[in-house]
Amino acid sequence: MSEAVAPDGKMPDDSSRLRTFISILRRFAGVSDIAAVRFSLPAQLLEPMPNLEYWHYLDRPERFAAIGDSDDAVGRMVACLQFWFTKDIKYVSGRPCKPYNSTLGEFFRCFWDAEGARVSYLTEQTSHHPPVSAYWAECPQKAVTACGYDQLSAKFTGTSVKVTPGQFNQGIFITLHNRDEVYRLTHPIAYLGGIFRGNLSVSVADTCFITCAKTGLKVILHYQEEGYFGKTQNRVEGVVFNCDVAEDKTTRIKSVPEKDIVGRIDGSWTEQIFFSPGPREFKKVPRNEKTLLADVRDLRPVPKQCPPPDVQLPNESRRFWAPVSDAIAAKQFSSATDKKQILEEKQREKAAERKAQNRIWTPRFFVVEPERDGGMPRLTDEGVKVIRGLNTGDFHLELPDEYGAL
């Protein structure tokens, strides 16, 4: 596919970038899944950031670390909700962006020191067609881990891009090892709107769930659709209730028996979200009986800490994409696009070699069986070593036996 490249030395203005973006999107009208299509964007439309670094659920790692702190089952579910509503602060405090597409075998690792507890994170691109990555987060001081697959399906509807979880993306799985509890958090459908207004924004209009089989607690969260004239209300309401998680099929808040309700959620996911105990309608609960789950208006993502550049491997995201990022920073857009295309072409050549030799790519850090593992990838021995190294500050890794795009 030909690419419209901005002249070197000149930063494209927003209107120029928008026109180029819209012209590319229109080519995919009616395509069932843009994310699965092989196409390359010109460098001036990209945020100079690797996708594996950008796409994660730990914008507020201290909330993740605190999920298991309460000795009360409802308290732990409330903490899980606090994590849920703060995990993607980047979309509230900043604008949506398009990072680099991940390449096969590329990986990213980082850590945060969150209120006295270190949270370590590892993610690896395990498949290119379809694009799938596996991830693992861990806070050893609190015995909390999270894992899952990231895979998206995207469709241009004519006015917005509809983003849904891919078939292997079954949610975020959080394990509280000291309590032997596993929480599953499913993803709602999201929309990238404001394309023709030149003001990109994310909206959510769907129902999603949080469940814990051991405690018998389930959450239904309903994100309301846009209001009239395209004005997003960003409203979310929900209910926490007791049930047999394995057997329960309830998907609507109104269908939950009042006797099973232990609390309600209400608010705006871009402003404030509250929890009220008991089955009473939220609007009938006095203000002093409501708990603030999150006030996200002034929250910002906590910066990541990564291994020093001199110990990063060639297929580690920041080092892998550094030539492209440097060219974009220098406003050398044609050079950035050329460098990006060289990496993409190398990936295609490597894929052709494996196909000719009848070889299948094997991820280095994850045991990946998305059709059998219930959406929960496992770390390989090398993956365990990476996480332990992040926890202790030992970042050394041996070079891989094979590269997917080098």
Per-residue model confidence (pLDDT) at position 280:
96
The tens digit of pLDDT for each residue in 322-350 reads 999 999 999 999 999 999 999 999 999 99
Q: Which residue has the tokens 């120029």?
A: 16
- Count Cα atoms within 13 angstroms, Cβ side, for 347: 21
Phi, psi (deg, nearest 5) at residue 13 = -75, 170
Q: Which residue has the tokens 């129902």?
A: 207
The tens digit of pLDDT for each residue in 107-135 reads 999 999 988 899 999 999 999 989 999 99
Q: Cα(53)–Cα(40) distance, rounded to whole angstroms? A: 19
Task: State CA 361 to chain mean position distance.
Answer: 24
The tens digit of pLDDT for each residue in 266-325 reads 999 999 999 999 999 999 999 999 999 999 999 999 999 999 999 999 999 999 999 999
Burial of 295 (0-12, 13-18, 19+ CB in 10 A): middle
Q: Cα(151)–Cα(368) distance, rounded to whole angstroms? A: 13
Q: Which CATH code is given to the segment(s) 1-405?
A: 2.40.160.120
What confidence tier does 229 reach under pLDDT thresholds 50, 70, 90?
low
Mean pLDDT score of the chain, rounded to an integer? Answer: 90
Within 8 A by CB and 6+ apart from 313, the residues are 107, 319, 397, 399, 400
The tens digit of pLDDT for each residue in 152-188 reads 998 888 788 899 999 999 999 999 999 999 999 999 9
Per-residue model confidence (pLDDT) at position 26:
66
Per-residue model confidence (pLDDT) at position 4:
42
Beta pairing partners, 222: 207, 237
Q: Cα(387)–Cα(98) distance, rounded to whole angstroms? A: 27
Q: Cα(375)–Cα(111) distance, rounded to whole angstroms? A: 23
Beta strands (DSSP E) in 44-200 are: 107-114, 117-128, 131-139, 144-150, 152-156, 161-165, 172-176, 181-185, 190-193
